[in-house]
Amino acid sequence: MKKFLSGLSAMVLTTAMTSSFITNADYIPTLYFRPQAETDADGTLVISREELANGLTITTDVFIDDQSKTCWSVDPKWKCPTSFIKLDNVIDPQVPYIPYAYAEEKDGKLTTIRHYTFCGKDEKLNTMFFTCDLGIMYKDNSPLTPYGENTTDYALTSFDMVFSRNIPYGEYDVYFLTESEDYDDQRWSTVSMRTGEASVTTIPNVENLHIKITGANKGDINNDGLIDASDASAVLTAYSLTSTGADSGLNDDEFYAGDANSDGAVDASDASLILAYYSYMATGGESSLEDYIK
C-alpha cells in the first residue's frame, strides 16, 4: 500500500509541474554521499569499536552527478533509521557563502544571483533535506550553472553523522528517500530538468551510504546498545553452561563482550562487574565500561 501511495503521489507531483509525466530516457542524475573519512573499496564506512570510545562525529558531503547539466531544481532528502546515528548540522552553503555545486560569483565573490538554497532536518524522524532551486523568478526554468566544470567538483551540502559510543556492532545505512516512508504525503528526493521544451521532475538515481560497526562493545553481550541486567543474566547463563562442561553458547563477539574484565573467562565476576556498572550509569555515570574498570 505504501509503494502504491508513493507512486501515486509521484505522478501527482510531476503532473502538477509538467503537462505529463516524462521520463528522461537519455540521462537521470545521481545523488550520492561522500564521508570525510576513509572508506573501503566498495564505499562502505567501516568504524571500529575503539573509534567510538568517546563518541564520534563524521562530516559527510552530499553530491549530485548531473552530466547533462540540465537540472533547474535539486531536492535531496535523506534519512538514518537508527537513533544511534544522529543526523545534525546540515549546511546551507549561502550562510555564510562557501563554494558548492551551484555557487555563483559576482565581482569575484560568491553571491546569490538567480537561485536560492534551503535546508533543514526533522530530529524525530532523523531526516534531512536540501533544496537548490531557481524558484518562481525564472519561469523558463533554465538550468542551474555548475560552479566547477562538473556538478561533482563541489558538494551540494554537508552534514554531520553523530555516532553514539553505545551503538551496537552491525551494519547501518544513511539513504536517500525515494518514496514516502514515515507518513503518506512525505516528500522524497527529486530533480527537475529541462528536456527540450519540457520540464521534467523525476526521482534521481541514488547511491546510499553503508556503514559497518566492527568489534563488540564490552559488557553489551546481547548487542542492544545498553549494558544492563539482561547482559549480566546472559553472562551467568553462559557461566552455568561452562561450569557443567558444556559450551557457553557464545560466539566470538559475545564472548568478548561478556568477558567484561578481560581475564579470558566469562563468569560470575563479569556479571558482578556489569551489574555494578549498570548501577553506576543509572546514577548519572558517563564513563565507558573500560574507563570505569580503570
Domain CATH code at residue 173? 2.60.40.680
Q: What pLDDT is recorded for position 1?
A: 39
Written as one letter, the residue type at 166 is N
Is there a single domain that holds both residue 43 and residue 124? Answer: yes
Of 28-42, 94-108, 207-221, where does mean pLDDT reach its minimum? 94-108
Is there a single domain that holds both residue 71 and residue 125? Answer: yes
pLDDT exceeds cutoff 90 at 270: yes
CA distances from 269 to 259, 275, 289 (A): 9, 10, 14
The 10s digit of each residue's pLDDT in 226-255 is 999 999 999 999 999 999 999 999 999 999
Is there a single domain that holds both residue 275 and residue 178? Answer: no
For 243, the 3-state DSSP assignment is helix
Find the distance separating the first CA and the last CA of the chain, reported in whole Å.
Answer: 54
Is there a single domain that holds both residue 198 and residue 248? Answer: no
Is there a single domain that holds both residue 253 and residue 144? Answer: no
**Beta bridge mates, 62:** 33, 157
Is there a single domain that holds both residue 66 and residue 167? Answer: yes
Place of cell 542551474: 144
Asked whether 258 and 235 are in contact (CB, 8 A), the reply is yes
Is there a single domain that holds both residue 16 and residue 141? Answer: yes
Is there a single domain that holds both residue 185 and residue 287? Answer: no
The residues, any chain, with a CB within 8 Å of residue 174's CB and separated by 6 or more, are: 33, 60, 78, 79, 80, 85, 87, 161, 208, 209, 211
Its pTM stands at 0.84
Is there a single domain that holds both residue 41 and residue 162? Answer: yes
The 10s digit of each residue's pLDDT in 162-203 is 999 889 999 999 999 999 999 999 999 999 998 777 788 999
Q: What pLDDT is recorded for position 24?
A: 46
State the residue range of the domain holding 279: 229-293
Is there a single domain that holds both residue 173 and residue 257? Answer: no
Gap between the Cα atoms of 8 and 3, Å rounded: 9
* Alpha helices (runs of H) in 131-251, residue ranges in sequence order: 229-243
The backbone torsions φ and ψ at residue 44, rounded to the nearest 5 degrees and listed phi first, read -75, 135
Please report whether residue 195 resides in a domain: yes
The number of distinct structural domains making up the chain is 2
- The residue out of 152, 179, 214 marking a domain boundary is 214
- Cell numbers describing residue 185: 504525503
Is there a single domain that holds both residue 43 and residue 162? Answer: yes
